[in-house]
Each structure stands twice: as C-alpha cells, then as structure tokens.
Structure 1
Amino acid sequence: MITLRPTRSTDLSFVYECLCDLEETVLDREAFERIFLHNIADPAVRYVMAEANNVPVGFLNCHVQQLLHHAGPVGEIQEMYVLPDWRSQGVGQQLVETIVSIARHEGWINLEVTSNRRRERTHAFYERMGFANTHVKLVNWLAG
C-alpha cells in the first residue's frame, strides 16, 4: 500500500539520488541541498513523497506562481520520479492525483508539466492523467 506525505529535510538523499538518475548525471550535491531545503520551506513549492512500508518509492514537486497571463495561480510539476521497481503500479498516478486535488482545493487556474522530448512514455502517462500537449518549451542554456 502506498502512502503519501509532505517531503521532509530527511528525504534529501532519496530525492537527490532520484534526480541524478532522472537527469542521467551527477548533480552538484551542495547546490542541490541548498535549493532543496529552500524549496521545502517555501509555501509556493509543494513536495509530495510516496512511501511503501515507510520507505520512499517516489516523489513529486510542484511550483505555484501567480501568472499575469492566466490572471491567477498556476502550478507546474517540476519533477516527478518513481523508483523503477514501483513504476506501472499506480504510484505516479497517486502523486499526480494528490497535486490535482490540492490545485482544485486552492483554486489554481491550471496545472502544467514540462517533460523532455525524449521521454515519450512519460508524455503518454501525463496525457492519460488529463494533461493536453498545448505548448512548446524553448530553452537557452546560459550555464555550462
């Protein structure tokens, strides 16, 4: 059985390892920790952990912004990761349903997600969850 809860500072290592795997790189641990601790303290950032028997198996984070072009609050899922052994078992669905429930309760205008072009299975998952492919994201790499 999967349980969901807010993310805590003690989840740092799990989230770090997940995001290194997701991004297929080793992220700067010091910078990651600084940002992670800042984000979990920020009320405009929502982190949700998924656990099985009190062991983390996935997480989602969502940033909420007041956007002029929507005239209200908009959430954007920034990262979601489920451990490989737990995929296709409803964990991601529960994470997304939780953030959708929060969004509806708080009156957000919409909920958005951006996913790397190469993650076609991820795109299909979000479409099954009710997201529509309506935008193109363009990136200007300023560092690196």
Structure 2
Amino acid sequence: MHIRPAQSTDSFALISLLTELGYGGTESLMHTRLQQLIADPNEKLMVAEDRQTVLGFLSLHFIPQLAFSGDFARISYFCIAEGERSKGVGQHLLQHAEQLARERGCERMEVHCHDARIKANQFYAREGYSESPCYRIKSLATGA
C-alpha cells in the first residue's frame, strides 16, 4: 500500500467512498470539487492505494491561526473502504496526514466526527484524539 495525492482519475473511487459515508449524489459535483481541492495550497487530498485500487482517502485542510504561531490542520473527510477497515490502512493514512501537518508547522489536528459514527470515534480515541467541548454549526442554505 502507498499514499499519494488524489488525482482527477480517482473520482469514481471517491464517489463510492463518500457514498459509504452517507454522502450519496456527489457525481455531478465531483469533477469540479476535486479540481478545486487539488489546486488549493491549503488542502491535501490523499488516497491510500494498493495495486492501483483506492482503499481510502483523507481530506486535510491547513488553517492559519491569528493568535498562535502554529497553524492547525482539520480532517474534513476520511474514509477507508468497508472491506479494508481494521487492517491498518486508516492508521497509516492518518499518520501520513499528521506528518504533513507537522511539516507545515501545525500545532494540532482536529476532526469533527458525529456521535453516531461509533467505530470511527473509537478509532480516533485509539489514535490519541480527545473530545472537544463544543462544535456549533449554522446552515447558510436558502430557506434554512
């Protein structure tokens, strides 16, 4: 297995993995979003693959902080294919992302993971991630 930057040819695999996460219907926007993320210097979209088969992906954003010298990194999407979970792929991909964040000068990593994703939260706890006290959202969609 090796980790590499995502490419436009990974769109089908990413659509399938996002569907596993519960984000269906991404086909129409995948090409545009993929190109935006690949071009963004504050984003690292990585895939783990074995023999040209994508096993999982991680989307990592670097965010500057105004009050601290170090930035922080946020995982926005992270998925390992159902049949590849608990085989070390996720741990390897996460460690790679953490190393990229260190190299970028980040002082911490964060990830938002809904309580309903029990196994994912257990994984993050095993990897040393602790619960943060508060996360608030507001929809900006029309009519919300």
TM-score, scaled relative to structure 1 = 0.90
Summarize deviations over 1:39-90 as a string: whole Å, max 9, x none. Answer: 1111110011111112111110101111224443111000011111100000
Task: Look up the equivalent residue of 2:42 and give its one-letter code.
Answer: A
CA distance in 1 between counterparts of 2:88 and 2:5 reads 18
Counterpart of 1:10 in structure 2 is 9
Counterpart of 2:18 in structure 1 is 19
Counterpart of 1:73 in structure 2 is 71
Task: Look up the equivalent residue of 2:76 and give its one-letter code.
Answer: Q
Report the secondary structure of 2:98's partner residue: helix
CA distance in 2 between counterparts of 1:77 and 1:69 reads 21
Q: 1:61 aligned to 2:59?
A: yes
Q: Which moved more, 1:101-110 or 1:64-73?
A: 64-73
Task: Look up the equivalent residue of 1:26 and give its one-letter code.
Answer: G
Q: 1:127 aligned to 2:125?
A: yes
Task: Look up the equivalent residue of 2:5 and give its one-letter code.
Answer: P
Task: Look up the equivalent residue of 1:118 and give its one-letter code.
Answer: A
Counterpart of 2:107 in structure 1 is 109
Gaps of 5+ in 1: none
Task: Look up the equivalent residue of 1:25 and give its one-letter code.
Answer: G
Report the secondary structure of 1:56's partner residue: strand
Q: Which runs of 4+ in 1 moved over 4 A?
A: none
Task: Look up the equivalent residue of 2:96 and give its one-letter code.
Answer: T
TM-score, scaled relative to structure 2 = 0.90
**1:110–1:58: structure 2 CA closer, same or farther, 3 Å change rule?**
same
**How many pairs does the alignment contain?**
142
Report the secondary structure of 2:95's partner residue: helix
Task: Look up the equivalent residue of 1:119 and give its one-letter code.
Answer: R
CA distance in 2 between counterparts of 1:69 and 1:93 reads 31
CA distance in 2 between counterparts of 1:32 and 1:7 reads 12
* Structure with the bigger percentage of helix: 1
CA distance in 2 between counterparts of 1:99 and 1:83 reads 18
Gaps of 5+ in 2: none
Report the secondary structure of 1:23's partner residue: coil
Q: Which moved more, 1:133-142 or 1:52-61?
A: 133-142
CA distance in 1 between counterparts of 2:12 and 2:128 reads 31
Instruction: Report matched runs for 1:26-65 at 5 Å.
Output: 26-27=25-26, 29-65=27-63
> Is contact 2:62-2:101 (8 Å) kept?
no
- Identity over the aligned pairs, expressed in percent? 27
